[in-house]
Structure 1
Amino acid sequence: MAPPAPAALLVLLLHCTLAWLGPPSAPRIYLSYKELLKTRSARPFTFGFNSSDYRILLLDQDQDRLYLGARDYLLALDMHNINREPLLIHWPAPLSHQAECRLAGKGQRGECFNYVRLAEPLNRTHLYVCGTGACRPVCALVHRGWKSQEYLFRMVPRSQEPGKGKCPYDPRQSSLATLVNGTLYAGMHVDFMGTDAALFRTMGPRPAIRTEQHDSRWLHDPVFLRAHVVPDSTERSDDKLYFFFREKALEGTVGAAVLARVGRVCLNDDGGQRALVNKWTTFLKARLVCSVVGEDGVETFFDELRDVFLLPTQDEKNPRVYGLFSTLGSVFQGSAVCAYPLSAVRAVFNGPFAHKEGHSYQWVPYTGRVPYPRPGACPGGTFTPGLRSTRELPDELVSFVRSHPLMYEAVYPVPRRPLLVRAGLPYSFTALAVDLAAAADGRYEVLFLGTDRGTVQKVVVLPKDPGVPAELTLEEVEVFESPASVTSLWISAKRHQLYVSSDVGLVQVTVHRCAAYGPACADCCLARDPYCAWDGQHCAPYSPGSARRVRRQDIKHGDPVRQCRGYNRHKQQLAEQVQFGVEGASVFLECRPPSPRTQVRWLVHSESGSPRPLPQERVLLLPPQGLLLSPVLLSDEGQYQCVGTENGYKRPLRRLLLRVLPRGLLEGPPSPVCHLPWGPLRSTRWGAQRRTQPPRAP
């Protein structure tokens, strides 16, 4: 804890207009690209060939490889160090296909190349990869070897095949794909013109099926984002594919052009026998809601789903779903992150179906008889043990599914508010990754958010009050030399590494930069970073398995008084610095707070020790750098102290002794030595240490 200041310094606090506190959403530290590289916590990957549009396609934890797709190239990188020599496959589209693409009116925006969009493990030794193929999708097998040490990464000869229904035609269109037990599930626009969007199942032993074609009740101009297979019970026949997308709204009462959706299908769906032949018979969808309620009771919705992250829990049937949303309106623009337990999603799918009725065709809950077995149930599952295939479903049930794919109730986050909200910012969030970090006082959700200006923010979610989460932005770092929107964000919690890609490149970033918070124990404790702790000498990475008693960490409260007892005193001995001003001119007193959450106040007293107020009519606060005193009078001489308060913890940040030079002193020819009342002045710099020896007699 800092030593008590002299009583005279504590008598006077300036008026609240001379105190400054940064916005709560401001990051504690901001590192430019050059500053980030100096921390040695980032490795940018540079690819010498003429390529672009980098997409992280797969983190292979078993072989310690990262598979990166780019224009005309597929690369395998070392997850420990992406700058090691990569394994690469040059996979351009044939010249004839490029020519046909240009003849069809494409190519103005670079469509006539092969953009790799899919890389999924087919087995222990091979990958299944797909690319746009100059608007002619193509897929192939890649032999990756048994171990990462094998320098093996090559395309299997004569393995290329058409990729329709597996990869989009247009590289700008979003798509999703996941390979499960040799079966590929993919969502995309399947035609050259981009008018037919569908969720497909191809490959594998089961028949190829898709969503109903050109039926807006099923899919209405969707943008597909993510897909995950989640078990719904201990019975594997109940396993379902949950997929996330956004689409144009059908519900006329919501007033939004686009809504966020979660859909699901059974993995063992074989389509119908007479209706919905080769179509999903278990397809259902529901609205995902992320909103805030204002003081006037008006609910503001974030409807544009941008990214989704699933965080596993101890219960494999109930992972935690994180959604990144943005608004669509021109008046209010913002972003938000909401979290949903999958049990909340499952509860909505077990609720009422949406139905249009009445002369105005309003959406209401369906109150008629629901066919048995319940629409959306999987054959051979917990509730349908005697059903062997969806082809045995009654015609009544299949007809009901075709006309009622939408659930009436929406999925709300738990608790019923976002984890994070940002509004009125000059940027938007584009990508999301989440880690559950183990700290000394519990486990904390840490959000990593990519932005459209090429930065990544790290945010920790704190349990402020029961059921009411709070969040703190720990840092924001520029990960690219030139601003570029983050396209994909992947995290390896095991290695504490974050992988960030954009159109211009790829960067590997460590999830912590503890030394950047400051040299003192208080700085480390106030940062409240679950990855960092005070080890007795430095702010260092925290290891849950460490048995060292000296480590100090308090994420929940951030209390340096309790955590840093005995470690703060020697850090707070600030040397008093001398600063000179000229009578009638202006002088700037600098004081940079260690954090935007630090409230800065100025204390002033004369050299005799008596406190006095600052002339507020001549003081201009310039947050967060300091204050400007203009014009300066001889009576302004004295001792100035800048005091910072954060989370109830006070400490001096800077002590200045202001000396004012008389105006007449500067008139006449310059003299190498000026004899002043307090001694000679010789080439004194800004911030020079205060003279401690008495001046000699002239």
Structure 2
Amino acid sequence: MALLLLHVLIGIFIYSSHVKGSSQPQARVFLTFNELQETKTSEYYRISHNPLDYRILFMDEDQDRIYVGSKDHILSLNINNISQDPLSIFWPASANKVEECKMAGKDPTHGCGNFVRVIQSYNRTHLYVCGSGAFSPVCVYVNRGRRSEEQIFRIDSKCESGKGRCSFNPNVNTVSVMINEELFSGMYIDFMGTDAAIFRSLTRRNAVRTDQHNSKWLSEPIFVDAHVIPDGTDPNDAKVYFFFKERLTDNSGSTKQIHSMIARICPNDTGGQRSLVNKWTTFLKARLVCSVMDEDGTETYFDELEDVFLLEMDNPRTTLVYGIFTTSSSIFKGSAVCVYHLSDIQTVFNGPFAHKEGPNHQLIPYQGRIPYPRPGTCPGGAFTPNMRTTKEFPDDVVTFIRNHPLMFNPIYPIHKRPLIIRIGTDYKYTKIAVDRVNAADGRYHVLFLGTDQGTVQKVVVLPTNFSASGELILEELEVFQ
């Protein structure tokens, strides 16, 4: 495989993988890697002749920098001056841990290193960074200074355990978000990679996680992203949303299907008093659907969620959630972009709960009494102002959450169809970022779509009528060689 080169493009920085093949749909402008260099509008950085698995990107808008996590390195790049050399920290795994990793039979190149998988802003001056640590996760505080011009970038603490904060295996996704110096992570918490969890750590309160080995909650998940999203005007009602895909056994118990999911929890959840102790008592999840309807009414799914981007609006309830989806079928191959109204997502979470009934364990809407407060409600919010903590929730609320975490209705995209579909191409979309651009005839959404061929497509969506839209690929840039 050719050496992966890390690029900073003006206004966008997208990670994508390199594989063989280069067939592309027609773009108005296509620039090869070399042609892009000749424009002098991009820079690439190479800190090693070996592949370093650049994967984690974190935008620091306060200091106008992008932080990049890779194997044994943390980079800080100036987005206002892309010609400036990056600041770099060399942070390898300890020699003892590398040797233990090799002795355990792990891949010396792609497993037995310190692959940085978590970069979050801890406070005004420090980042919190975690790496796989050669299958022994570790975390540190990194001093980034108060202002970008200070050029400060150094590790400012001793290593501490990263268990519950970062996956052991660098090839297993870790997603995270920091809220008020508390870390919320979706990852696998054990060396063998069998115990998936959504975990709150780095906290003065008790650590809280999902119910362990309960497939009703998580079933072999692959985590994709995590975001904090307001829910109304009361800050206590805000939720942390986790986006992931999971393998679910069908009613026959023999076939596993892949479903894309959204789960949410309340950040101020401290677990139950008698049941679900140190477990989430507000955990709910719903299926995220991106599909096309055939003429005979058959629904064909793009069932594997790959990436998510939130386009925030003036009113938080009108936020748009963009998702990249691919197919798991060996017959029907392709990728698609689906867009969801946040209000539609919240409507599903406020709707009926799913319940399994009958000999075939068929999912039906739950018809029984819903306990109060409604399961999934945050304590101290608009609907529960007198409940200060989830430990005050009645037992029937906690029991209901344990047994009925799934919502009955799936979440469908706007107009119940994808915004963009790619079928029959030798590439798939892998990453997405979206911008709003004002033009003389209105405001347009411009999509930057990373592919598994090492290119970025710049696509503008053109409204054509109420229920349909067109698209135009303005340009395609080859940013990986």
TM over 0.5: yes
Distance across 2 between alignment mates of 1:109 and 1:410: 41
Unpaired runs of at least 5, structure 2? 1-22
AA aligned opposite 1:188: M
Partner of 2:336: 336
Q: Which residue of 1 aligns with 2:380?
A: 380
AA in 2 matched with 1:309: F
Work out the CA distance in 2 between the residues paired with 1:460 and 1:25: 14
Secondary structure of 1:149's aligned partner: helix
1:343 is paired with a residue of what secondary structure?
helix
Aligned position for 2:175: 176
The aligned counterpart of 1:242 is 241
Q: For residues 191 and 293 of structure 1, what CA distance do their matches in structure 2 show?
A: 41
Tell me the equivalent position of 1:144. 144
1:363 aligns with 2:363: yes
Superposed displacement of residue 108, structure 1: 4.6
- Cα distance per residue 1:307-331 (max 9 Å; x no partner): 0001110112442100100111111
1:440 equivalenced with 2:440 (yes/no): yes
Q: Give the conservation status (yes or no) of the 8 Å contact 1:290–1:413.
A: yes
- CA drift of 1:49 comes to 6.4
**Partner residue of 1:76?**
76
- Counterpart in the other structure of 1:185: 184
Are the counterparts in 1 of residues 457 and 476 from structure 2 also a CA contact under 8 Å?
yes
What is aligned with 2:8? none
Secondary structure at 1:273's aligned position in 2? coil
Is the Cα–Cα contact under 8 Å of residues 237 and 380 in structure 1 kept in the other structure? yes
Pairing 1:273-312 to 2, within 5 Å after superposition: 273-312=273-312
Give the direction of change, closer, same or farther, for the CA distance of 1:220–1:174 in structure 2 (3 Å limit): same
| Match in the other structure for 2:212 | 213
Superposition pairs of residues 82-121 of structure 1, within 5 angstroms? 82-121=82-121
Q: Distance in 2 between matches of 1:179 and 1:462?
A: 36
SS in 2 for 1:459: strand
Counterpart CA distance in 1 for 2:440 and 2:373 is 49
Shift of 1:439: 1.3
CA distance 1:84–1:49, change in 2 (3 Å): farther
CA distance in 1, matches of 2:367, 2:162: 43
Checking the alignment, whether the CA contact within 8 Å between 2:56 and 2:118 is kept in structure 1 is no
In structure 2, the CA distance between the partners of 1:417 and 1:35, relative to structure 1 (3 Å rule), is same
Say which SS state the counterpart of residue 391 (structure 1) adopts.
helix
Distance 1:330 1:264 in 2: 31
Q: Which amino acid is the alignment partner of residue 72 of structure 2?
A: D
What's the counterpart of residue 354 of structure 2?
A: 354
1:399 and 2:422 correspond? no
Asked whether the equivalents of residues 291 and 299 of structure 2 are also in contact (C-alpha less than 8 Å), the reply is yes
Q: Could you say which residue in structure 2 is the equivalent of 1:601?
A: none
Kindly report which structure 2 residues correspond to 1:568-587, keeping only aligned pairs within 5 A, or say none. none
In structure 2, relative to structure 1, the CA distance for the partners of 1:24 and 1:193 (3 Å cut) is closer
Q: Trace 1:495-506 onto structure 2 (pairs within 5 A).
A: none
Cα distance change, pair 296–204 in 1 and its aligned pair in 2 (3 A): same
Q: Tell me: CA distance 1:326–1:157, structure 2 relative to 1, closer, same or farther (3 Å).
A: closer
What aligned pairs does 1:656-671 form with structure 2 within 5 A after superposition? none
Secondary structure of the residue that 1:415 maps to in structure 2?
helix
Output one character per residue of 1:455-484: Cα deviation in whole Å (capped at 9) or x when no partner. Answer: 111111111112322212222221122xxx
Q: CA deviation at 1:41?
A: 2.5
Question: Percent sequence identity over matched residues?
Answer: 53
The separation in 1 between residues aligned to 2:403 and 2:64, in whole angstroms, is: 47
Residue 45 (structure 2) aligns with: 45
Contact 1:282/1:377 (<8 A) preserved = yes
Tell me by how many angstroms 1:206 deviates: 2.4
- Structure 2 equivalent of residue 166 of structure 1: 165
How far apart are the structure 2 equivalents of 1:147 and 1:339?
Answer: 36
Q: 1:60 to 1:93 in 2, by over 3 A?
A: same
Deviation at 1:251, TM superposition (A): 5.1
Q: Counterparts of 2:340 and 2:215 in 1: how far apart (Å)? A: 26
Instruction: Give the Cα separation in 1 of the matches to 2:352 and 2:316.
Output: 26
TM-score, normalised to structure 1's length?
0.64
3-state SS, counterpart of residue 425 of structure 1 = coil
Give secondary structure in 2 for the equivalent of 1:105: coil
Relative contact order, higher structure (CA 8 A, sep 6+): 2
CA contact (8 A) 1:262 1:286 kept: yes
Q: Is the 8 A contact 1:51 1:72 kept in 2?
A: no
Helix, strand or coil for the counterpart of 1:445? strand
Q: CA deviation at 1:250?
A: 4.5
Give 1:385 shift: 1.7
- The answer to whether the 8 A contact 1:72-1:115 is kept is yes
CA deviation vs aligned residue, 1:606-627 (integer Å, no higher than 9, x gap): xxxxxxxxxxxxxxxxxxxxxx
Corresponding position: 1:32 with 2:32: yes
Q: Which runs of at least 4 in structure 1 moved beyond 4 Å after TM superposition?
A: 48-51, 253-256
1:477 maps to amino acid: L
Q: Distance in 1 between matches of 2:157 and 2:410?
A: 49
TM-score, L = length of structure 2: 0.92
Q: Is the partner of 2:398 in helix, strand or coil?
A: helix
Q: Which residue of 1 aligns with 2:232?
A: 233
Counterpart of 1:563 in structure 2 is none
Counterpart in 1 of 2:197? Answer: 198
1:182-232, Cα deviation, whole Å (9 max, x unpaired) = 010000011001000000001233211000000100000001111111110
Q: State the distance in 1 between where 2:324 and 2:270 align.
A: 33
Residues 142 and 157 of structure 2 are in contact (CA less than 8 Å); yes or no, is this contact kept in structure 1? no
Q: 1:526 maps to which residue?
A: none
On the 8 A contact 1:230/1:317 being kept in 2, the answer is no
Match in the other structure for 2:18: none
Report the secondary structure of 2:463's partner residue: strand
- The answer to whether residue 260 in structure 2 is matched with residue 260 in structure 1 is yes
Aligned-partner SS, 2:321: strand
The Cα of 1:369 is off from its aligned counterpart by 0.8
Cα distance in 2 between the residues matched to 1:392 and 1:206? 16
Task: Name the aligned partner's letter for residue 133 of structure 1.
Answer: G
CA–CA distance in structure 2, aligned partners of residues 185 and 431 of structure 1: 22
1 CA distance for matches of 2:241 and 2:222?
15
Instruction: Measure the CA separation in 2 of the matches of 1:88 and 1:56.
Output: 15
1:429 pairs with 2:429: yes
2:319 aligns with 319
* Counterpart Cα distance in 1 of 2:406 and 2:131: 32
1:228 alignment partner AA: H
Q: Distance in 1 between matches of 2:285 and 2:190?
A: 23
Counterpart in the other structure of 1:480: 480
Kindly report the root-mean-square deviation, in angstroms, between the aligned alpha carbons of the 2 structures.
Answer: 1.8
Per the alignment, residue 512 of structure 1 pairs with none
User: What is the one-letter code of the residue matched to 2:378?
Assistant: C
Deviation at 1:50, TM superposition (A): 4.8
Which runs of 5 or more residues in structure 1 are unaligned? 1-22, 482-698
Give 1:522-541 correspondences, 5 Å limit: none
**C-alpha distance in structure 2 between counterparts of 1:157 and 1:419, whole Å:** 46
Deviation at 1:81, TM superposition (A): 3.2
Secondary structure at 2:34 match in 1: helix
- For residue 43 of structure 1, give the secondary structure of its aligned residue in structure 2: strand
Cα shift at 1:298: 1.9
The corresponding residue for 2:11 is none
SS state at 2:343 partner: helix
Q: 1:200 to 1:397 in 2, by over 3 A?
A: same
